[in-house]
A and B are shown apart, each in its own frame.
Chain A
């Protein structure tokens, strides 16, 4: 690993010259990572292999969004199964390409009136030159390459994506009627219970899925919630995150340095070298 500053112009000339030479063998790969992300991966000895995808969609029975009571279980099931299926396909593509896992997965979720769609896209990565592994050992994560690297450095391994979702109806009696019977400054317990419960459900399912994957924790949990565009009285909650486990016995401390940046908020022209100087 050199630490001398690089002469960028000389490198550019060298690159231009290299186009006249035959290509080196084994240079083929496809990736949606930025060059920064690729370099960060390389700093821990990992490389991108191939851009991989996994998609699925599950139908939801007719009339399921009409006003009812409690949980809309078929929607919750459809969501979970669509995610599971899409994830399986992503795993398979990764394993087939020789990757050990997929990082930076973009997750696109669409909840429609008749079907729930999940699309996953990411770059399969592996330790440089490593042999392919069995499908069952492949991991999938929406952690960025940078966060993946940080966790690895601290001794944590990514195992997979944990997901949980729940869909509910707002309680049947409209808030308007309820309010007429109550004075101001009061909690609406039925409604509170319904939403709180549904949120907890989604979180609990995510945890259950993490336990199935076998990790000791879930990091970077994201929660989304909101009413359906096409049915305002139906509310959906989803929680997901990356399941991790300690690779060794203990967490490795990173001992970060406190810094005071002397930058002014203007764009710097100086490209500089990645190695300083």
Chain B
């Protein structure tokens, strides 16, 4: 947990102080909450703006202007040109490396925004936050990434407050949350992480992606672009490992993985893999439903 102080805007204090609650819940979700004995307390949110510069000189992050930009920690794979002669433009070396500074910055932005949302909920005396929505919006002109987490703070009627008074959080709401509880899981927190892998193409990759494989060095026309395949596998693996490290023995339920790739020049790519889900903990033995009875509907 970051050491960010609870620096909520004054307006938030006023809004959460009392009076009718606002809630981000849809009507069915709201009704479902009441059925579960969850009393909505208020709409809570947290923001965090992180500097998100490109590879410019003013970036406070590690500059990566060529291969060997990777740090000493993290995924790293070197690719060496198999050809004998080398011209000035020939890309004799290539590298896949993990941009740990980007991953850390993302992690910090998410955690800070999450922390602030939780602070608002705590101030309102909530036990948990349901229906969390998260977004990380790039304001490219300003070179920033804005994290925004929001949800509906709730209190468990006649229920025990959470450990340390820190509300639990979940992306789920309504029916899905009800089924989760009935199935024997209790939500602990939302979990999310991003992995960032840079591909600095070497000659073979460049030729493969430029469609000229087979015209240089006698390579086969159809061949796996192993450098990029490796980087893509690594990006997914790293994201999963990072989220796993947040679970601390609990399970990740209802996960969602989103992979995006940006071309940064011929053959060069930046792969970003976002993995988010609900950290949940089993609180009672699984009592499976009977095998569903097959039916055919008329009309």
Contacts and interface: CB of A to CB of B under 8 A. Distances in A.
The answer to whether any beta carbons of A and B sit under 8 Å apart in the complex is: yes
A198 interface: no
Contacts of B299: 260-261
Contacts of B298: 258-260
A114 interface: yes
Nearest to A62: B211
Interface stretch (B13-21, B33-41, B63-71, B138-146): B33-41
B127 interface: yes
A30 B255 contact: yes
A28 B160 contact: no
Given A12-B36, A115-B208, A260-B297, A39 B289 contact: yes
B250 A36 contact: no
B159 A31 contact: no
B283 A18 contact: yes
Interface stretch (B46-54, B103-111, B227-235): B227-235
Chain B interface mostly: mixed
Given A16-B160, A35-B180, A256-B294, A56 B229 contact: yes
A20 B127 CA distance: 13
A13 B158 contact: yes
Most buried by A among B127, B244, B252, B259: B252
B182 A115 contact: no
A76 to B, nearest CB: 10
A56 B250 CA distance: 31
Contact of B176 (A34, A56, A58, A119): A34
Interface stretch (A155-163, A165-173, A186-194, A265-273): A265-273
30 contacts: A1-B288, A1-B290, A3-B290, A9-B35, A12-B156, A13-B157, A13-B158, A16-B159, A19-B163, A24-B282, A25-B249, A27-B249, A27-B282, A30-B240, A51-B275, A53-B237, A53-B257, A55-B229, A56-B224, A57-B229, A58-B224, A61-B212, A63-B211, A77-B222, A114-B208, A149-B292, A260-B297, A260-B299, A271-B31, A274-B182
Interface of A: 1-3, 6, 8-9, 11-21, 23-25, 27-36, 38-40, 42-45, 51, 53-64, 74, 77-78, 81-82, 85, 89, 113-115, 119, 121, 149-150, 153, 254-261, 267, 269-271, 273-275
Nearest 10 A/B pairs, CB to CB:
A18-B283, A9-B37, A61-B221, A62-B211, A59-B208, A15-B186, A42-B288, A114-B211, A256-B294, A16-B159
Given A30-B243, A43-B290, A62-B215, 13 more contacts: A16-B156, A18-B284, A28-B244, A43-B288, A53-B233, A57-B225, A59-B223, A60-B222, A61-B213, A64-B211, A150-B294, A258-B296, A271-B36
